[in-house]
Amino acid sequence: MLNLAKKKILILKTGKRKKSIARAVAKPGKGTILINKKPLEIFEPEMLRLLIKEPLILAGDVSKSLDIKVNVKGGGIFGQASAIRQAIAKALVEYDKNLKEKFLNYDRTLLVADARRTEPHKPSRSRKGTRRHKQRSKR
């Protein structure tokens, strides 16, 4: 941890959830977190702000020595919040390897992306849905 603080290095990490992609840039600093150039404190709704803060709370003092800037795009608000959370957690683990075990025990999705995706539409009925069939009459 101290070696990284002495060197002026950048930590670049990405987080993904559904269609959302968050790119985090972490560097030694005062502990400010910016999401799309806005401070985390004004991120709305509050529930998602608390979700994003989980890795910072688990990391404790380690998070207070890093400035993190996150760029996020795509998807909805919950997907974006989960992607931000994952990118921040990955950056914190890169900065301090001792946090990896703690994060994995708390919630595996902090470090491992969720691979689930929507099912592709099938031919001929693509606008009606993936598994939609024509309704049949029994009599």
Q: Whole-model pTM?
A: 0.81
Tell me if 120 is assigned to some domain. no
**Taken in order 69, 71, 59, 89, is the CA torsion positive or negative?**
negative
Distance CA 17, CA 20 (A): 5
How many folded domains does the chain comprise? 1
Tell me if 124 is assigned to some domain. no
Tell me if 85 is assigned to some domain. yes
Alpha helices in 1-139 (DSSP H): 2-6, 46-59, 77-95, 99-106
Per-residue pLDDT band for 8 (boundaries 50, 70, 90) equals low
Tell me if 122 is assigned to some domain. no
Q: What is the pLDDT of residues 23-32, one digit of tens each?
A: 999 999 898 9
Q: What is the mean pLDDT of residues 102-118?
A: 88
**Domain encompassing residue 62:** 2-110
The residue type of 136 is R
Tell me if 132 is assigned to some domain. no
Q: State how far the alpha carbon of 50 is from the alpha carbons of 3, 53, 54, 67, 70, in Å.
A: 30, 5, 6, 18, 16
Beta bridge partners of residue 66, listed in sequence order: 28
Residue 38: CATH number of its domain: 3.30.230.10
Tell me if 103 is assigned to some domain. yes
Distance CA 61, CA 64 (A): 5
